[in-house]
Structure formats: C-alpha cells, structure tokens
C-alpha cells in the first residue's frame, strides 16, 4: 500500500506488539500431555496490532493495483516454458514481493510445425515439377532459401535443411528444417492442358514398370 508504505497504519506509533503472543505471531496451547503451537488469534499471526488502521488498505499493508507489464520472450521458447518477473508477484506486509511466472503457450503456425528443435513444413509441387525436377524457393526462419527437387520426386519425400530449425533456449545446437513434398494433382484444367495430359496418359499406358514402378508392384501383388 503506497498510502502507509505497507505498514498498515496511518502513524507508525499506532502499531503495537501483540500482548497475547508478544510479537511471535504464534501461541503454545497445552492439550493434555501434548503442547500444540497455533497462530495467534489476537493478531492473526502478524505479531502486531494496529490501533488506527490505514483507510486505503484497512491495516493489511497491501492494496490491489492493476499494472501492465512488458515481458521479453527469449528466442527458442516452447510450450510450458516460463519467464520469471522478479518482484512482480504477490505482495506481503513488511516483506519482499514474490515473483510472477509467465507460462508460454506457442500458437500454431500456418506453415511450420515444431518438434523440439526441428521444424517440419509441407512443400506443394506440381506433377510436372516433381517428374522433371526443379529448384524452388521455400521460406525459413532466416528468409527464403533454394531447395532442389530432383527428377522423379514422390509425395512424402523429406528433404533436410540443417541448421534451419529452432535454437532452443537451453541449448546451443540449432535444429533442422524438414521439408515434406506434397505432389498436387492439377485442377481446373484448360482444354490444352487436358489434351497434353491425355497424350501423356496414352504414352504411359503399358509402361508402368518404367514410369510407375510402385503402381505396377502394387497391382502385381494384388493379382497374386
């Protein structure tokens, strides 16, 4: 309380030592053969009695106040990590305030998925780019980098970019970025694109062993 500087009284002379516990805050009670120590009911464990309480805090020495704090979030924090703000916790009379712990909850990202220090992302590529190969630009935490898609790349293929993940708070080892290829089937084709695909389809009929080895192996096992 700023009105009484946490003393709980208008005047420091209004604070007296509790006559019951003599300032200890606790009293000893005899119950048969046992001696039990309890909180003093006269001063409620404070050890002091206030004759003229402060009007703002009513003698408690603390007062509610709303405050907006600025928190610095270190790089690499993860779900459940806590940031400590010293002296911003609960206040007590004639004592130092406790600490405030801010627990971090990381929002999901529209591109990256985190697994420890590693990051995962889906990279959509067209059928033509997957079949013929292409060098594409992908985003990372440090900006765009080039990723070479080899000829004949299949859906689910993982490419690892070392050192492009997250650097954890408690470690100097930076994680990797793993790019998961997703081959997209084209939609809303123009008439010319449809003709070209039909031509490709016709040239591939009967050539499954060369152009689609997994497809041929699947149907061979099915027929067997």
**The pLDDT value given to residue 10:** 74
Contacts for 182 with CB less than 8 Å, ≥ 6 apart = 122, 123, 124, 125, 155
Tell me the sheet residues that pair with 135.
Answer: 148
Q: Are strands 158-161 and 177-184 parallel, antiparallel or unpaired?
A: antiparallel
Give the model's pLDDT for residue 101.
95
**∠ CA 32-37-40 to the nearest 5 degrees?**
120
State the pLDDT at residue 220.
Answer: 63
pTM here is: 0.66
Place of tokens 């790089």: 75
pLDDT of residue 209: 56
All structural domains of the chain? 1-65 (2.10.230.10), 75-107 (no CATH), 109-185 (2.60.260.20), 191-224 (no CATH)
Q: Positive or negative CA dihedral for 129, 134, 137, 140? A: positive
pLDDT at 43 (0 to 100): 77
In terms of Cβ atoms closer than 10 Å to its own Cβ (0-12, 13-18, 19+), residue 198 is exposed
Write out the E strands in the chain: 15-17, 26-31, 34-39, 48-50, 82-85, 100-103, 113-115, 118-126, 134-140, 143-149, 158-161, 177-184
pLDDT tens, per residue, the chain with 224 residues: 777 777 777 777 777 888 888 778 888 877 767 778 888 887 777 778 777 788 787 777 788 888 899 999 998 999 999 999 998 888 776 667 889 999 999 999 999 999 999 999 999 999 999 999 999 999 999 899 999 999 999 999 999 999 999 998 888 889 999 999 999 998 899 999 999 989 888 887 766 556 666 665 655 666 66
Q: What is the pLDDT of residue 177?
A: 97
Q: Is the Cα dihedral 41, 46, 51, 52 positive or negative?
A: negative
Measure the CA–CA gap between 205 and 211, rounded to whole angstroms: 10
**pLDDT (0 to 100) of residue 82:** 93
Dist CA 8 CA 95 (whole Å): 13
Q: What is the pLDDT of residue 174?
A: 92
């Amino acid at each position: 309380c700023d009105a009484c500087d946490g003393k709980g009284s208008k005047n420091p002379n209004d604070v007296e030592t509790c006559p019951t516990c003599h300032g200890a805050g606790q009293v000893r009670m005899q119950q048969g053969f046992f001696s039990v120590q309890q909180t003093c009911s006269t001063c409620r464990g404070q050890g002091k009695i206030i004759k003229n309480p402060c009007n703002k805090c009513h003698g408690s020495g603390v007062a509610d106040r709303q405050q907006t704090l600025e928190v610095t979030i270190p790089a690499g924090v993860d779900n459940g990590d806590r940031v400590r703000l010293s002296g911003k916790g609960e206040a007590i009379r004639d004592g130092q305030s406790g600490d405030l712990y801010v627990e971090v909850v990381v929002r999901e990202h529209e591109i990256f998925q985190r697994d420890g220090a590693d990051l995962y992302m889906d990279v959509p590529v067209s059928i033509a780019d997957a079949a013929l190969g292409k060098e594409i630009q992908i985003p990372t935490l440090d900006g765009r980098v080039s990723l070479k898609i080899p000829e004949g790349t299949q859906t689910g293929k993982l490419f690892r970019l070392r050192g492009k993940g997250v650097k954890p708070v408690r470690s100097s080892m930076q994680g990797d970025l793993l790019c998961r290829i997703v081959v997209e089937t084209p939609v809303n084709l123009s008439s010319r694109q449809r003709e070209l695909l039909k031509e490709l389809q016709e040239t591939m009929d009967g050539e499954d062993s060369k152009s689609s080895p997994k497809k041929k192996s699947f149907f061979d096992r099915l027929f067997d």
